């Protein structure tokens, strides 16, 4: 049965993604603009505030993004010092990669104590 209402178009704007920085570390952010060309789309990402986050004005191709509708973490190598979020004791918490053994699909993480996820960055 039809209700006569149209379904809203799904926008990619606002989708949380990760992008590899020049230093090899992945940074999280939100897509805030899309430029579509004939066969190529470019995505502008506004990064979460961190001291090392890449410049927010750079545009990325879809193959450079990790997130819903883009690449997955499958096959990605995490570097020492990479910030990650995991579920630990039933809570999401942040941690830092100490070592990533890709051949064994194992990541050794230093888990931050509860409440340490809040960063004190001046904007």
| DSSP-H helix ranges across 22-98 | none
pLDDT for the residue numbered 80: 94
Q: How many CA atoms lie within 13 A of 93 on its CB side?
A: 14
Predicted TM-score (pTM) of this structure = 0.71
pLDDT along the chain (123 residues), means of 10: 54 89 88 84 86 74 91 90 86 89 91 64 44
CB atoms within 10 A of CB 18: 21
């Amino acid at each position: 049965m039809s209700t006569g209402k149209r379904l809203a178009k799904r926008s990619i704007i606002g989708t949380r993604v990760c992008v590899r920085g020049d230093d090899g570390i992945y940074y999280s952010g939100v897509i805030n603009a899309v430029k579509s060309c004939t066969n190529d789309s470019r995505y502008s990402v506004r990064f979460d505030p961190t001291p090392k986050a890449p410049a927010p004005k750079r545009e990325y191709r879809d193959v450079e993004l990790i997130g819903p509708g883009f690449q997955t973490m499958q096959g990605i190598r995490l570097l020492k010092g990479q910030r990650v979020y995991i579920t630990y004791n039933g809570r999401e918490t942040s941690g830092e990669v100490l070592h990533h053994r890709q051949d064994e699909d194992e990541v050794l993480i230093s888990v931050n104590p509860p409440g340490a996820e809040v960063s004190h960055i001046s904007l």
